[in-house]
Amino acid sequence: MKIERAYRIIAEKFLHAKTFEDVVIHDSLMKLIRFMFTEEEAEIVAHLGLAMKSVKKIARTVNRPVEDVDPILASLAERMLIIGLTKRKVPLYGLLNFYPGLYEAQMVLSESKMREGDDGAFYKEFARLFKDFWEELFAWMKTNPAFADRYQILGTPLGRIISIEEAIDASPGLGIISYPTDKFSEMADRAKKSICKIDVCTCRQEMHLLGEGCKRVDKPTSVTCTLTGTIAEAAIKSGAATRISKEQFIESRMQAGEQGLIAMTDDTIDPLLICTCCDCCCSIMRVLKDFNNPNTWAQSHFEAVIDREKCVGCKTCAKACPMDAVKVGKDKKAAVDYARCIGCGVCVIKCDKQKAISLKTRKIHKPPVDNIVEFWARRYFQLKGREENFLPKLTLGATRALTRINPVHLTGPRARRLGK
């Protein structure tokens, strides 16, 4: 395989070009991939997929001896550029999803390596090249609204915002009906002991590597994201995360809310990853904020409502809102732009003196799906233009097939946890 073709295949896999058929492979992504992989490594990585394979199978695919391929795969896995697992004492390797996935792995690894004395040169360059790629991709999306419109929602949100629990509890008498999926305290009960805190915030670590800071959090290790279920056990085993108790988990969520950080998750009943996002460092939050209708990309079960009699027009809520959804008008009263309100609850917490803001149940709200495989199966079939009423059968078939490769329930009471 010609080397440029190998790099191109990796780029197409990273951007899921077979699903997003009209996506463009930008020069900035190609530069990043050339930086990450040597020519020899790229020729092997181009043959990897999401399904894990043994060294023998990979060596046979690339038509090279096992003794040549084995150390290359081991090195790539150690540097977290691909996935490396061991099942029944047999090493297995697969392609690591680019974002989320490989990007986060590099940011977490950078913090631990630099703490051990690494000069961080590789990770700083990785962060710079990734920023170039992200800015080029986002600029292209903004000038190609048809692409954004096509892949924007299609019946299933890209993610879910979980409102600050104190904001839900502080909103009585407004017809609030919370689901068990709306509260971290109930989520922690279902997760049992499989909860961990990632040792470093990947987005804020990127800004740190670039020499920039966060306006809400002092350092990348102060308030970070959390994982639950099987992926939490894997992160703990790898040394990238620390196991925490239910009480520590809830306390961390309270601390995040007090600092105006947003809890964004995958749109499943029991999320794999609970991000702790700010609107200055998080690339997804910056994308949401820059589009005119962020709540169709990610939203909570709730939305903010203003009590005009209590509002004094202090603008505290407007300054705190990460999506610029709250404005104070000429009448000195706050108002909510519901196309922009993602229902995070930050404004409710910040309006602690006047208590003029509460949450109300969102009129149009789609509950999260059962598991991560069902979520991606729905996304895939909707992107391919399938009708909604066919989705249950199609999803069921896809779920059954994928269950043979990976357990469907990676989180919650039915999760298969490592070492259990």
The structural domains of the chain, with segments of one domain joined by +, span: 1-96
Residues 300-313 have a mean pLDDT of: 93
Spatial distance between the Cα atoms of 15 and 29, rounded to a whole number of angstroms: 10
pLDDT tens-place string over residues 167-201: 888 876 656 777 778 888 888 888 888 899 988 88
Residue/partner pairs of 351-355 with CB below 8 Å, 24 or more apart: 351/316, 351/317, 354/310, 354/311, 354/312, 354/314, 355/170, 355/307, 355/310
Position 131 pLDDT exceeds 80: yes
Spatial distance between the Cα atoms of 93 and 49, rounded to a whole number of angstroms: 9
Answer with the residue of higher pLDDT: 174 or 367: 367
Q: Which amino acid is at 303?
A: E
Confidence category of residue 148, pLDDT binned at 50, 70, 90: low
The CATH number assigned to the domain with range 1-96 reads 1.10.10.10
What pLDDT shows up at residue 359? 92
Confidence category of residue 145, pLDDT binned at 50, 70, 90: low
Spatial distance between the Cα atoms of 374 and 406, rounded to a whole number of angstroms: 13
Do the Cβ atoms of 3 and 42 come closer than 8 Å?
yes
What pLDDT shows up at residue 146? 66
What pLDDT shows up at residue 95? 92
Do the Cβ atoms of 341 and 324 come closer than 8 Å?
no
Share of the chain above pLDDT 70, in %: 86
What pLDDT shows up at residue 173? 62
The pTM of the full predicted model, rounded to 2 decimals, is 0.79
Residues 124-139 have a mean pLDDT of: 93
What pLDDT shows up at residue 158? 67
Spatial distance between the Cα atoms of 56 and 62, rounded to a whole number of angstroms: 10
Residues 4-29 have a mean pLDDT of: 89
Position 300 pLDDT exceeds 60: yes
Position 389 pLDDT exceeds 60: no
Position 383 pLDDT exceeds 70: no
